[in-house]
Amino acid sequence: MLSPELKDRAVMITGGANGIGAAMVHAFHRQGAKVFFCDCDRTTGRRLAASLGERAVFDYVDLTQERAIVAWVAAIRRCARRIDVLVNNAARDPRLDFRRTTARAWDDLFALNLRAYFLTCREAMPAMRAGASIINLGSIVFHAGPARLCAYVATKGGVLGFTRSLARELGPRGIRVNTVSPGWVMTKRQLRDFITPATRKFILRQQCLPGLIQPDEIADVVVFLASEASRAMTGQKFLVDRGWHHS
């Protein structure tokens, strides 16, 4: 579905080189938006931007560094003047035994998975006008609470709380803030590192709907939340998990 109002809009996406992020870059590019995306994967990010042409701009950004985020957003503002959509997607999900998790590992994960969301929002917000949309990526794991993901689950719980409060704070300016929480998405990394025949069977047992979730299914919901079709929605959590968690 095309959303004509997204044509020529400035869209920021973190973690846009691979997986769900790359699917979102493609989705917004198809809408005619100008997409500014960052990643720590220089090679793939540059290749993706080159394949899409001048409406896709890639930058290498270390999202754990405040100065890097400030500089990246400032560069976008010089180019685009205003920012219409911000998608906070970049995150890591390491499997860590709680007893062996160091304070450094915990802090590093929060720096990328939560603090970076705060910093991108803080820096982009002055360039946002009424009708702008912020979409933060959460995760089904917040509801499932699996073992060996305590740190990751904690960051995603923080994303939900951050979204709710920021929606209240930015609402008077007409800026919407929502969370999209994907289920288990079949990205190349997940397929390579975690998906086995047994895992596939487990996922399908948990879901209401058959089939495995693909990155473009998440991207379509994010585009919807950036469009005027969702103009009355803010402060909300949208589970895109084929019915894994329902209550």
CB 114 within 8 A of CB 139: no
CB 23 within 8 A of CB 216: yes
Question: Phi and psi of 206, rounded to 5°?
Answer: -80, -30
Cα–chain center distance at 124: 15
Which amino acid is it at 61?
A: V
Q: Which of 136, 239, 242 is nearest to 186 (CA)?
A: 242
**Residue 191 CB burial class (10 angstroms; 0-12, 13-18, ≥19):** middle
**Cα(163)–Cα(158) distance, integer angstroms:** 8
Instruction: Measure the CA angle with vertex 70, ends 95 and 41; round to 5°.
Output: 45
Instruction: Provide the annotated active-site residues.
Output: 152
CB-hemisphere CA count at 13 Å for 96? 20
